[in-house]
């Protein structure tokens, strides 16, 4: 699993969100982007992480940063997650985990001694030029928003 570093070109993506709209990184040039990966919609850690992002949306909007959550869940499951917690931002369905692989967040995990492949919770900040401005692998659900806002403030400050 190759991990992205600051200064790397962000891998492009084109994925459906929870409403069936296609979101492409190439359409977001000229704007900062926060992308966070979570293992599964409506699980405790993922809910904590996504609700914290929801609650920080005014701060992200103020600095004109787009925010996207990404998991292997299908759009319908993402939509239920969005509706249940009133998240209000795009949740991308990476059902084939191609984006997760491109960002180096698809890897081996262990749960109760069982090994399997899945999302390694991570977050990225992409600058206006499409370069990685921040990459945090194995991020805590509680730290995602504070970390992303700190990186964004560094870009804008």
Catalytic residues: 46
> In angstroms, what CA-CA distances link 1 with 62, 96, 133, 150?
35, 16, 20, 26
Sign of the four-CA dihedral 14, 105, 135, 47: positive
Q: Could you tell me the maximum CA-CA distance found in the chain, to the nearest angstrom?
A: 45
């Amino acid at each position: 699993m190759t991990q992205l570093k600051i200064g790397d070109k962000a891998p492009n993506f084109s994925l459906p969100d929870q409403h069936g709209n296609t979101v492409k990184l190439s359409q977001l040039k000229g704007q900062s982007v926060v992308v966070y990966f979570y293992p599964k919609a409506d699980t405790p850690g993922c809910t904590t992480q996504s609700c914290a992002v929801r609650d920080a949306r005014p701060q992200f909007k103020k600095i004109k940063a787009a925010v996207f959550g990404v998991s292997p869940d299908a759009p319908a499951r993402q939509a239920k997650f969005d509706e249940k917690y009133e998240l209000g931002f795009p949740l991308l369905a990476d059902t084939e985990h191609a984006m997760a692989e491109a960002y180096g967040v698809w890897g081996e995990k262990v749960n109760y001694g069982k090994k399997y492949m899945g999302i390694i919770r991570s977050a990225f900040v992409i600058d206006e030029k499409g370069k990685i401005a921040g990459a945090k692998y194995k991020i805590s659900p509680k730290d995602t928003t504070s970390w992303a806002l700190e990186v964004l403030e560094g870009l804008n400050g």
